[in-house]
């Protein structure tokens, strides 16, 4: 069973994001970048499937600028066998990424595609669902447990009321949630081994995909700063403030 895992290069989750002065987007100049945390969970799960003998090959895929090679090398250090970079400087929106992944799926013919449920930069939570729709495959989102059985994959997913278990026929799409696993620490020997693993560079045109943006960002701004709270002497004053000042009751 071949598994494709999509990984995205994003601003590191420890970095305090700054908005550009002209309001056109987020400032990423001289900012630490890393793999999207949900995608780290996805690659870890694929590698665990291989270690159990359920997957024969794990292919990491990323779409974006040349610097995404660093992210793919990290994925191979975790355990992916090879990587593919769809190199483009275009602003990639979820539909464009889904189309690129579909073209790669048609080319590579995997039985399972695993993605993080969302990226921490745009928080769209759309690519996995769009890819499933384009391919016509079954999908299970927000996975907290994945079990591959004979020709099927059973996915326990988190819902508002608790959890539910879905059984999907392969091939299928799975998007990962935080409780699925804890990604392993990448060791120096594995980082060195990853440098020797194959990494293929292709362009969107090679896949016949138009990645031009369909949406236009008009303005990006920081949320308003919260004003300081106040102390009240008693419950009656609190109710009065909530009713007449905050107007929430």
Query: What pLDDT is recorded for position 122?
Result: 87
Nearest Cα to Cα of residue 117 among 202, 181, 36: 36
Q: For the residues 101-127, what does the mean pLDDT come to?
A: 94
| In-domain check, residue 66 | yes
Rounded (10°) angle between helices 127-135 and 94-108: 50
- The CA-CA-CA angle for residues 118, 124, 125, to 5°, reads 45
| In-domain check, residue 234 | no
| In-domain check, residue 233 | no
| In-domain check, residue 75 | yes
| In-domain check, residue 237 | no
23 has pLDDT over 90: no
**Helix, coil or strand: residue 35:** strand
- Whether the CB-CB separation of 95 and 129 falls below 8 Å is answered with no
Q: How many domains does the chain have?
A: 1
- Whether the CB-CB separation of 41 and 181 falls below 8 Å is answered with yes
| In-domain check, residue 31 | yes
Least confident of 78-92, 175-189, 221-235: 221-235
pTM of the model: 0.85
Strands (E), 2-111: 2-6, 9-11, 33-35, 57-64, 82-87
| In-domain check, residue 244 | no
Least confident of 11-25, 34-48, 60-74: 11-25
| In-domain check, residue 236 | no
Residue 193 belongs to what domain range? 2-222
């Amino acid at each position: 069973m071949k598994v494709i895992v999509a990984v995205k290069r994003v601003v590191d989750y420890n970095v305090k994001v700054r908005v550009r002065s002209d309001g056109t987007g987020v400032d990423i100049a001289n900012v630490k970048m890393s793999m999207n945390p949900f995608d780290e969970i996805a690659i870890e799960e694929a590698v665990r499937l291989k270690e159990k003998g359920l997957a024969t090959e794990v292919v990491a895929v990323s779409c974006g600028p040349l610097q995404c090679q660093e992210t793919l090398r990290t994925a191979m250090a975790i355990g992916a066998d090879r990587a593919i970079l769809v190199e483009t400087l275009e602003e990639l929106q979820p539909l464009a990424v889904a189309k690129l992944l579909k073209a790669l799926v048609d080319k590579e013919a995997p039985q399972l595609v695993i993605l993080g449920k969302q990226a921490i930069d745009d928080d769209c939570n759309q690519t996995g669902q769009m890819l499933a729709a384009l391919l016509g495959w079954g999908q299970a989102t927000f996975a907290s447990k994945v079990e591959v059985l004979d020709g099927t994959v059973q996915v326990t997913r988190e819902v508002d009321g608790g959890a539910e278990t879905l059984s999907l026929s392969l091939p299928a799409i799975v998007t990962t949630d935080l409780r699925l696993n804890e990604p392993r620490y990448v060791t120096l020997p594995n980082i060195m081994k990853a440098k020797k693993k194959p990494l293929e560079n292709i362009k969107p045109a090679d896949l016949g995909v138009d990645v031009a943006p369909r949406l236009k960002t008009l303005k990006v701004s920081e949320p308003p700063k919260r004003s300081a709270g106040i102390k009240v002497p008693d419950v009656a004053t609190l109710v009065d403030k909530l009713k007449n000042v905050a107007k929430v009751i």
